[in-house]
Amino acid sequence: MNAVQFRERINALRPMYDEQYNPLMEKISQKGDSTGKGNVSTFGAFYQTYMYAFLLGLRIGEKKLAEHKGRDFAQIGMWKPGPLKDFILLTLFNRTSEMGYSWMDLDGAKHEEIEQFLRVFQKEMEGYANRGLAYLQDKFDNEKYLFEDPNVFMNLLMELQPAE
């Protein structure tokens, strides 16, 4: 598999999140018509909320496995803004040794090995995103007033200390 094919496979991935967070995703994401959401600040499309949740999970420094059935949404190739998507992908690639892989092993690897790596890669992304969604769910359940502030998403990110 060459670099172009590898990138196409990554762009075709459809990461999932634990379905227990779907009501939260519906409340704080804009999907189609965003009217009638009440006085709760909303983030962008589902994939933007997911990218934000990934960053929260990464900042917390923990992953959380899905406890329930997963829900997917847009393929990674559709995510915008592109620079943020690329930052997330590069962050994960920098952690390949933690996933049990090295770039040297992936270079020239067989198709089956690449597919296995991509499954692990996606699970890693999902773990951080689910941890971030758990954090958001806790804040929404226990400090919902925070979501009335138009800067809630920046505030929540800033209150977290970076993981060591």
Beta strand segments in the chain, E: 16-18, 70-72
Predicted local distance difference test score (pLDDT) of residue 102: 84
Task: Read off the amino acid at residue 17.
Answer: Y
How many Cβ atoms sit within 10 Å of the Cβ of residue 60? 18
Spatial CA neighbour of 123 closest among 13, 7, 27, 34: 13
The pLDDT tens digits for 9-36 are 999 999 999 999 999 999 998 865 444 4
The pLDDT tens digits for 135-145 are 999 999 999 99
Write down the domain spans for the chain. 3-25+46-159
Predicted local distance difference test score (pLDDT) of residue 163: 64
Low-confidence spans in the chain with pLDDT less than 70: 31-39, 41, 163-164
Task: Read off the amino acid at residue 46.
Answer: F
Which residues lie below 8 Å from residue 161, measured CB to CB, with a gap of 6+? 59
Predicted local distance difference test score (pLDDT) of residue 36: 47
Does residue 72 sit in helix, strand or coil?
strand
